[in-house]
Structure 1
Amino acid sequence: MAILEYYKKERVKFLDQCIQCGVCADNCPILPYTDLKEPAPKIQEAVFDSVENGTFNHLAYTKAFACMECFRCTTDVCPQDLNPMLINELIKGVFISQGMAPSHFSDSQGAESPQRIIARVQVSENEYQRITTTSPKQEVEYVFFPGCNVYFQPEKILNALDIMDYIGDSYAFLPGLDNCCGDNQLFFGLQQQGSLTADKLIAKLCGYNPKAIILWCPTCHCRFHKYIASSTDVQFKVISFPQYLAGNIKKLPLAEDSADKILTLHEPCKSAYTGTDPDGPRQVLSQLPNVELKEMEHHGANTLCCGSGAACWFPDSCSQIQSYRLREAKQTGAKQMVTICHYCNQTFASKATGLDIEVVNYVNLIAELMGIHRQDKYKKYAHWNDLELILNDIGSNIEDTPFEREKIIATLRSLFVK
């Protein structure tokens, strides 16, 4: 329960040291897209009152529940070196548990979670087993952990595994869904559950005695960097998949005769803001043949979030941020916007329609250059926005799953039919 104790200590620290200056509110990239017009110090005064007394007020609610969890406020923002994002999560936990705010929590580890259902209908039984089977205990150089939400887009996990197999390092695969870094619970204010989940993951990772853990998910990476490492004695190095790939991409058989590509990069905002992986994505793209990278106006440490974390409670604010970012991408003249994070890819999948710019994830781009062709079916289904077309595409695969047909249809409708 190390993370739970960390949250408790940070709450005490906040109540003791917060000077209610409002710098965190001033630096929050989504608050200008909400209805908050009050001065930042007044917003923070309301936040302090909610943390101290558990009382509901609109200012604290908006600051906490509109939070995109971009991690921007967690690094070099608060003059007291506090963690405003963690405080947002504490408020969410109190408000939701007391019935003062709705909960949209969905357990990714559940037997019939949306992630499991959507992954299974997109791939074959053998492919599904590949991405859900834990490697036997053994001493390895690396453990590859994809996290849970990328299972909405299972071809990315399969492509990443094919790439790792080709590189040839000794590694174990610890699948998501059965395992989680705890972010899913922490995001919804469930600190006790999140702490238990993270503890279980760390124990399983340590069982392989690895030199390093390779994380697909930028959110997992930042959770390790900002929360787990601050509360747990982690004995292994933690790196991102782009960082691993950047050091090994010369080993891959990338097609040299591919057509020239003009790309722009939407990097994971939290990786840039926290410094967990400021260079990995560009190092990967710079080594691809016949690729020219055109940066958006906001990039690097000044990049913008895709807005996805706000979608549960503030969808309009999220949509405005997405539209702004896509316009920036279009202005570069690039034909493709490359995403690193699966959630960014998922967020932009249906928004780019009609803008004459394609959203493509980097691992799919690299797999294609290796002659590996797997469709991004999540993106295709989001573009279609048509349940009948989606069901026709899935075909008999829907009958080969362990899930009831009506459950599958309800999940498809909730994700793809707007």
Structure 2
Amino acid sequence: MDFTEALDIHMNEIASACTRCGKCFQACPMTGPAGIGDAEPAMVVSGIVEILRGAAGTVEADAWASACSSSGNCIPACDYGVNPRTMVRLAHFASTRRRSGEAVKANAMKSFRAMAKAVRIVSRLQIDADLLHALQPPPGRDKPARRPDVLIYTGCNVHKTPHILILCLDVIRAMGLSYEVVGGPSACCGVFQFLSGDAETSGRAGLGTLSQIEAIGARETLSWCPSCQTQFDDVIIPNHQRMSRDDAFALTPFFLFLERHIEQLRELFVFPVRKRVALNERPGYPGVMQAVKRILHAIPELEFVELDVPRVGLMSNYLTVAPRFKDELREREFRAAADAGVTTLATVFHACHRELCHFERTVSFEIVNVMELIGESMGAKADDIYKRLKMMNDVEAMIDDCGDLIRRHGLDPDEARDVLLADQLAATPLQGHVIEK
């Protein structure tokens, strides 16, 4: 059995298990923004089941699958053991594969190459070759002489914000643990190919990364990226189990691991962090959010504030399908944070940080990643160069600032300029909704 066959079996099993009751559709926060809020729930879910079985489904079902932000609200809504988020993600894959036809592999390759190019350039504009190698070791390296305590699987795009990874490794070292790192485009989870409808290449990438991780032989494998986590949870691991009958592989989200060691962290939190902090929450893995809050509560003198705002999307970039909705949610959160008098809005995930950090110049509070707060209490610091560059609001100023690293890494300045321009324009304030300092 190959990966594509295993995936088709997986989709048919989910289609057979679904009762088409429509409760998952009713729980979804994206139906209104997708323009299908008035659709009959059972009818839409029936269309999803048809897509999983290789048919065209319905217009509403296709729209719902395309609008999925992986918020996970649908998961507890199902009474029949189906994971609706997985079901809708697989329906989006099946629909994309069916529409793309002969172009599916070309589209997948284009998507992956664009991501890999951006990661390669943006990371090199911030760190030197030695640090880059430490955060993104090449595949095929020798197995370590001693079994490491943990392996950190980073995914790809977090390398655009390397200060986050630097702080993750600082924490692991402070805990007295040995570690190895697997990540970067050479260790892709396959999600970009999957979203393009290419099961074969997605499987080859994800299973290849799984093999890289297993070859290290760490006692526990930690994941940073929630997108990679869902790709492994929903697609790679189930198919790996079906193909190999091996159910031993698992990924533990990084913050769940830290929460398990909360008492050790309390001993390491020696510096007070006198800040009033709100969290940019994402609901896809609610246990991760609860873990982050517990860790923040353990930091001396940090005051945590709950914001009464909607929580949508696995990460901020998962809301790009509904840009106006995304902007409105962001500005609502900014207003609530300002009204609560917070000093700090802390992002959890890298994509959220990339899209929010430069708004620091227009709001009354700082925007940092939660790892910066953890590091501050432990005496560890890593400069957020990505935010510093993005707040320049001028691509030419960025190029000038990074000139030395551009030369040392042998980058093409014009290529770097194009990538920076795309990243710089990732998000802009709504007219009339900017909160002045």
**TM-score in terms of structure 1 length:** 0.85
Q: Do the aligned partners of 2:23 and 2:41 also contact (CA within 8 Å) in 1?
A: yes
Q: What SS does structure 2 have at the residue aligned with 1:359?
A: strand
Structure 2 match to 1:178: 186
Long gaps (5+) in structure 1:
none
1:235 aligns with 2:248: yes
Task: Quote the Cα distance in structure 2 between the aligned partners of 1:6 and 1:74.
Answer: 23
CA–CA separation in structure 2 for the residues paired with 1:227 and 1:55:
21
**Aligned AA for 2:143?**
K
State the identity as a percent. Answer: 19
Indicate if the aligned counterparts of 2:52 and 2:94 stay in contact, CA closer than 8 A: yes
Cα distance in 2 for partners of 1:14, 1:152 equals 36
Amino acid at match of 2:7: Y
**Alignment-derived partner of residue 137 in structure 1:** 143
Measure the CA separation in 1 of the matches of 2:252 and 2:15: 34
Q: 2:70 maps to which residue?
A: 69
Shift of 1:363: 1.1
Q: 1:52 to 1:230 in 2, by over 3 A?
A: closer
Distance 1:287 1:344, change over 3 A: same
Structure 2 CA distance for partners of 1:123 and 1:51, relative to 1, 3 Å: same
> Normalized against structure 2, the TM-score is what?
0.82
Instruction: Write the mapping of 1:19-418 to structure 2, written as runs, cut at 5 A.
Output: 19-36=19-36, 37-52=38-53, 54-55=55-56, 58-77=59-78, 79=80, 81-82=82-83, 83-97=87-101, 107=111, 113-134=117-138, 136-138=142-144, 139-231=147-239, 232=241, 233-235=246-248, 238-246=251-259, 247=261, 248-252=264-268, 254-256=270-272, 258=273, 260-272=274-286, 275=287, 277=288, 279-297=290-308, 303-305=311-313, 306-311=315-320, 313-351=321-359, 353-417=361-425
- Residue 57 of structure 1 deviates from its aligned partner by 5.5
| Residues 52/111 of structure 1: CA separation in 2 closer, same or farther (3 Å cut) | closer
Q: 2:171 and 2:88 mapped to 1: Cα distance?
A: 38
Write the distance in 2 (CA, Å) between the matches of 1:18 and 1:390: 51
Judge which range, 27-36 or 246-255, deviates more. Answer: 246-255
Alpha-carbon distance between aligned partners in 2 of 1:271 and 1:160, rounded to the nearest angstrom: 19
User: Matched residue of 2:303: which SS?
Assistant: strand
Could you say if the C-alpha distance between residues 170 and 156 of structure 1 is closer, same or farther in structure 2, counting changes exceeding 3 Å?
same
Distance in 1 (alpha carbons) for counterparts of 2:305 and 2:298: 15
Structure 2 Cα separation of the partners of residues 265 and 165 of structure 1: 25
334 and 253 in structure 1: CA distance in 2 versus 1, 3 angstrom threshold: closer
C-alpha displacement of 1:97? 3.9
Amino acid at match of 2:409: T
Quote how far apart the aligned CAs of 1:230 are.
3.1
SS of match in other structure, 1:73: coil
The SS at the match of 1:137 is coil
Separation in 1, partners of 2:25, 2:3: 25
How has the CA–CA distance of structure 1 residues 81 and 417 changed in structure 2, closer, same or farther, with 3 Å as cutoff?
closer
Aligned residues: 408
The Cα of 1:72 is off from its aligned counterpart by 3.5
SS at match of 2:216: coil
Instruction: Kindly provide the CA deviation profile for residues 47-84 of structure 1, in whole angstroms up to 9, marking residues without a partner as x.
Output: 44444454385423321222212343345436462523
RMSD between aligned alpha carbons? 3.1
Asked if 1 retains the 8 angstrom alpha-carbon contact of 2:48 and 2:88, the reply is no
- Work out the CA distance in 2 between the residues paired with 1:196 and 1:212: 23
Structure 2 unaligned segments of length 5 or more: list them.
427-437
Shift of 1:376: 1.8
